[in-house]
Amino acid sequence: MARQTKTVELVTNAGLVATYAAAHADGHAAAWTKDMVFHVKQGVGARVVTVPVARTFEGRVITSLTVNVAQNTEVFIGPFAPDYVQSDGTVWIGFDATTNTTLAAMRLGVG
């Protein structure tokens, strides 16, 4: 299977009812903008979310960003520096497991 694309939704002054997708075993990719964030909702069971850095330093891989998401909580992750942008212009997000995990991608679109 392949990483799934997650559409980035725009938050406006009219409001946004975000569209959530079930976490995918191969992770997700969302188009990068300087104000894009992921919103992860976790039900039963804790989760570790990973956002890989896309560049290297002196030939070495830079450690990925990891975020612990406790049971029955929600977290916003981001915005992301350009160092997280993959060669296809997206930011990747992965999960240590996917049960009871959903996510949305959104941006403010200000300025």
Partners of 12 in the beta sheet? none
Residues 1-20: pLDDT tens digits?
A: 699 999 999 998 888 999 99
Distance CA(46)–CA(74), nearest Å, equals: 11
Residues 23-43: pLDDT tens digits?
A: 999 999 999 999 999 999 999
Distance CA(62)–CA(110), nearest Å, equals: 30
Measured CA distances, 35 to 42, 57, 60, 67 (Å): 23, 25, 27, 18
pTM: 0.93
For residue 79, cis peptide bond before it (omega within 30 degrees of 0): yes
Sign of the dihedral through C-alpha 81, 86, 91, 93: negative
Res. 111: pLDDT tops 60: no
